[in-house]
Chains A and B, each alone.
Chain A
Amino acid sequence: MTPSQPHPWLRAATVALLLSLIALAGCDRKPETDRLTFQAFGTLVDITVYPGGVHDLTRIESELSEELEIMHTSWHAWEPGSLGRTNQLLALGGEFSAPPSVLPLIEYAQELESLTDGLFNPALGRLIAAWGFHLDEAAGPPPDAEQLEALLADPPRMSDIERRGVRLRGNHPDLQLDFGGMGKGFAVARSLDLLADLGVEHAIVNAGGDLMTRGRPGDRAWRIGVRDPLGQGVLASIELGSDEALFTSGDYERGYEWEGERIHHVIDPRSGRPSRGLVAATVLHDDPALADAAATTLMIAGPDDWPLYAQRLGVEKALVVLPDGSVELTPEMVPRVEFRREVIRRIRAAEPGVGAIAP
């Protein structure tokens, strides 16, 4: 060995040193995603953004909170706002210009009410209020038989709103709009648009448990845990790609106990009472407003008819939980769900041709 050549041990040590430096450089301590939680739209909003450590979270929270509060006020069913004014004017029966924030919801709700034979009917605000759900903390007493009979004798429908462009007229004195079954879907979609304006390309907006994705966290899918509606822990996990909305309507969400009976907020327009037969209905769709409204509709449709109404609404991926803890799901939903506990499951689909909407 000549003096100018490094000793083999020294060479090995140098290589080890370089490798360790490379390893340390690869130890990126930044989180993969950032999350922030805040109160808005009357619920807890949880935002996940990718990649972590690069976005201005303070600005995101500030701008989203402001936008969500504007929507919350505009669409609030019992506090003053655009929807409150619209309800007053609809009850008067004269023609008026619809507030721009409310008109798209009315148009969509008319379409959905028609598709669901009135199972999804946001014109029944008076009925919802009679059950004590137009209060910040829902409370009884529930309506008695006489009150229910009066409310159901000639119930208002979305088709009782006459629409000519932006001009509206109410044709039913009891018309009172309540967009509790679809407003969150609109709000989540708007929030994702706002995030895109703020430079966030990959995110989840989760409003009170209902959520929608945009983009992807790197080269993998978003991993979503589905909480068990009947107990603790996680029922299942679902992987979502970009622009997928996951919405659930459940009897555990809003409600109160009255004389030993659980009164929940999903009211069946046919009986005028809280829906029966399903604990929760979950819909996966690329349209969050449709997913929101469809989840409510499937809850109301109940254990026999939910596949029929899923088909009518163009929902291919849906899952319902029955009171005994068993789960029914559409064939298209099966590959999307990985259950985290033992669960009895059945695959349900609407019978061919039954309930199909004529073109």
Chain B
Amino acid sequence: MIRGLRWGDAVVVALATALVTSSFALGYAPGGDSTHLVITQAGVDPRHYPLTENRAIRVEGPAGVTEIEIQPGRARCLRSPGNQGICEAAGWLERPGDMAVSLPNRLTLQVRGARSDFDSMHY
């Protein structure tokens, strides 16, 4: 033991060190890359899906079923009701802010990151 330092002081030092380390771990979140897909649909709470593994999602809407495909780092509207193909035409959504819309099924698909690039999308 260092001269003049009691065992209680060592406990306080250890606790303080642990607290500082954990505050960084909790408070620091790197921004940038797309991390999850948010599906919003009128009248339903937004649903979040991580873009970490392959996944197929079917969303029932007033006009039928919208099929969504997720791959690591990206997602797309595979099939959706409507004769204009607007949802499918958005292609792969890869960057934070990328968005696809199905008006017949009243839903939006938007890729978001730890920090979103945009406050709103104009289209």
Residues of chain A touching chain B, judged by Cβ–Cβ distance below 8 Å, are 1, 7, 9-10, 12-14, 16-17, 19-21, 23-24, 26-27, 33, 37-39, 43-44, 46, 48, 137, 139, 204, 206, 208-211, 217, 222-227, 229, 231-234, 237-238, 246, 248, 252, 254-257, 282
Contact = CB atoms under 8 A, between A and B. Distances in A.
Contacts of B59: none
Residue among A139, A229, A237 with most chain B CB within 10 A: A237
Contact of B120 (A10, A17, A48, A231): A48
Given A10-B12, A44-B108, A222 B119 contact: yes
Contacts of B92: 232
* A-B pairs, 8 with minimum CB distance: A232-B91, A39-B42, A209-B123, A225-B118, A227-B123, A37-B40, A27-B27, A17-B16
Interface stretch (B48-56, B65-73, B79-87): B79-87
Nearest to A19: B20
A207 to B, nearest CB: 11
Interface of B: 2, 4-5, 9, 12-13, 15-17, 19-20, 23-24, 26-27, 40-43, 46, 82-84, 86, 89-95, 97-99, 101, 103-104, 106-108, 117-123
Contact of A7 (B4, B83, B99): B4
Contact of A20 (B19, B91, B95): B19
22 contacts: A10-B5, A10-B9, A13-B9, A13-B17, A16-B20, A17-B15, A21-B19, A24-B23, A37-B40, A46-B108, A204-B120, A211-B122, A225-B99, A226-B123, A232-B90, A232-B93, A233-B91, A233-B98, A234-B95, A237-B118, A248-B122, A282-B122
Contacts of B98: 232-234
Contacts of A39: 42-43, 106
A225 B122 contact: yes
A23 to B, nearest CB: 5
Contacts of B23: 20, 23-24, 27
A46 B120 contact: yes
B13 A9 contact: yes
B63 to A, nearest CB: 9
B26 A27 contact: yes
Nearest to A284: B122
Contacts of A256: 83-84
Contact of B119 (A48, A233, A252): A48
Contacts, number: 145
Contacts of B27: 23-24, 26-27
Given A44-B107, A206-B120, 18 more contacts: A9-B5, A13-B17, A16-B17, A21-B19, A38-B42, A44-B108, A46-B40, A206-B122, A209-B121, A209-B122, A223-B119, A224-B122, A225-B118, A232-B92, A232-B98, A248-B123, A252-B86, A256-B84
Contacts of B108: 37, 44, 46
Given A13-B9, A16-B20, A233-B95, A210 B122 contact: yes
Nearest to B93: A232
Nearest to B121: A225
A48 B121 CA distance: 11
Contact of A224 (B4, B24, B106, B121): B121
Nearest to B6: A7
B16 to A, nearest CB: 4
A20 B106 contact: no
A234 B122 CA distance: 9
A184 to B, nearest CB: 13
A69 B91 CA distance: 31
B54 to A, nearest CB: 20
Contacts of A20: 16, 19-20, 23
Contacts of B118: 223-225, 234, 237
Contacts of B107: 44
A297 B8 CA distance: 78
